[in-house]
């Protein structure tokens, strides 16, 4: 019987401490890399790349070849779930995503679901897994229901997530139907990624910090718990990382109420505070400011040292506090890896 390869990132997600810690970066597959920009120019727009398994697999593998990260994160987008639910998705140049029809009334029942739209993304996973180095962990992901719903209701990104927040207050029953629909598709989507070869998944809740306490419990904690429970029943050995950006002091309750296996923390969180208040032994991921990586020099060196020191006593995955920025110099990424792995 062949022994399973040692995958440091997967080991940390299962509760082991590793020194040095494994490293991957959110949005590591993408536009800061010249090889990505060249492929996009040759192949077409961002969304076309997401649904092209050959191209999406190549993009997922590019940062692994260049930097040797310990994790490969699937190249895709959180808004493929609204497409599977029946919304039309496109990207306006320089302005970001657009979705139609907008769901200001929350009536998701009027949409015609098309879950087959997700099949090319599962095909991407299979291609990547076949090409990954044995020690590299394959990471899948999806958007958390609240964050996905904010785009579905507004039809685009919004500064304060006002349209979705208004709908949730005005008609919580309609909003709950929308959230429930997102939960259902997300569970199926992530289960499909796992069955295609993903070894751990991350739930991105980029707008979790925009809600009042009661709304946070209803629209962030409860739906994420539903996903965790249903996914764990299907695939009990696959770690789930929760990344609720911007929730600050709510991090301990998020961990307790959602049941995630590991917690990603954003750059606004003091790592010493996080280590002190989070459950002992909980794997933590983060939390370098992406702008410190852009700046480089003493700002980068000092931030890396502080994060390493703060989380030395628990399982830790070194990562950014949010996605890598397009203007990040490649030499700064190399410097980061040299420091973490020294």
131-147: pLDDT as tens digits = 999 999 999 999 999 99
Q: Given this model, what pLDDT does residue 1 score?
A: 57
Residue range of the domain that includes 68? 24-283
Residues contacting residue 279 through CB under 8 Å, at least 6 positions apart: 252, 255
List the catalytic residue out of 14, 17, 18, 40: 40
Quick check: is 314 catalytic?
no
Quick check: is 77 catalytic?
yes
290 sits in which H/E element: helix 290-295
Q: Given this model, what pLDDT does residue 162 score?
A: 95
Do the bridges between strand 137-143 and strand 71-73 make them parallel or antiparallel, or are there none, so unpaired?
Answer: parallel
Q: Given this model, what pLDDT does residue 229 score?
A: 98
Confirm whether 317 is domain-assigned: no
In the chain (342 residues long), the average pLDDT of successive 10-residue segments reads 85 97 97 95 90 97 98 97 96 87 89 94 98 98 98 93 96 96 98 98 96 97 98 98 98 98 98 98 97 98 97 97 97 98 90
Q: Distances in Å between the alpha carbon of 38 and those of 59, 126, 323? A: 11, 24, 20
Quick check: is 31 catalytic?
yes
Quick check: is 341 catalytic?
no
**CATH code for the domain of 139:** 3.20.20.210
- Report the alpha-carbon distance of residue 26 to residue 177 in Å, rounded: 30
Q: Given this model, what pLDDT does residue 2 score?
A: 65
Query: What is this structure's pTM?
Result: 0.96
Confirm whether 8 is domain-assigned: no
Confirm whether 54 is domain-assigned: yes
List the catalytic residue out of 14, 18, 31, 66: 31
How many domains does the chain fold into? 1
List the catalytic residue out of 51, 151, 189, 254: 151
Confirm whether 11 is domain-assigned: no
Q: Given this model, what pLDDT does residue 234 score?
A: 98
∠ CA 68-291-274 to the nearest 5 degrees? 85
List the catalytic residue out of 7, 27, 98, 308: 27
- My answer on whether omega of the bond before 294 falls inside 30° of 0, hence cis, is no
Confirm whether 322 is domain-assigned: no
Best CA proximity match to 310, nearest among 341, 265, 260: 265
List the catalytic residue out of 77, 261, 266, 289: 77
Quick check: is 308 catalytic?
no
């Amino acid at each position: 019987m062949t022994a399973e390869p040692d995958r440091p990132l997967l080991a940390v997600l299962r509760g082991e401490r590793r020194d040095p810690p494994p490293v991957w970066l959110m949005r590591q597959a993408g536009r800061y890399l010249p090889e990505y920009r060249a492929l996009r120019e040759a192949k077409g727009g961002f969304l076309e790349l997401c649904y092209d398994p050959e191209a999406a697999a190549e993009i997922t593998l590019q940062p692994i070849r260049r930097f040797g990260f310990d994790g490969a994160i699937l190249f895709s987008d959180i808004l493929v779930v609204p497409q599977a639910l029946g919304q039309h998705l496109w990207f306006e140049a320089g302005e970001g995503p657009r979705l139609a029809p907008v769901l200001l009334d929350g009536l998701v029942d009027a949409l015609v679901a098309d879950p087959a739209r997700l099949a090319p993304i599962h095909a991407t996973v299979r291609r990547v897994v076949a090409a990954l180095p044995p020690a590299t962990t394959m990471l899948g992901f999806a958007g958390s229901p609240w964050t996905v719903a904010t785009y579905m209701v507004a039809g685009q990104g919004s500064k304060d997530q006002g349209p979705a927040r208004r709908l949730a207050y005005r008609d919580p029953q309609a909003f709950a139907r929308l959230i429930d629909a997102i939960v259902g598709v997300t569970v199926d989507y992530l289960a499909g990624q796992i069955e295609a070869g993903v070894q751990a998944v991350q739930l991105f809740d980029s707008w979790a910090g925009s809600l009042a306490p009661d709304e946070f419990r209803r629209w962030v904690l409860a739906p994420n718990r539903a996903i965790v429970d249903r996914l764990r029943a299907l695939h009990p050995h696959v770690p789930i990382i929760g990344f609720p950006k911007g929730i600050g002091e709510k991090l301990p309750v998020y961990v307790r109420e959602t049941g995630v296996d590991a917690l990603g923390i954003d750059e606004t969180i003091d790592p010493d505070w996080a280590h002190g208040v989070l459950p002992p032994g909980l794997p933590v991921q983060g939390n370098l400011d992406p702008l410190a990586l852009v700046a480089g020099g003493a700002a980068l060196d000092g931030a890396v040292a502080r994060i390493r020191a703060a989380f030395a006593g628990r399982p830790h995955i070194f990562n950014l506090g949010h996605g890598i920025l397009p203007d990040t110099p490649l030499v700064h990424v190399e410097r980061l890896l040299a420091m973490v792995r020294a």
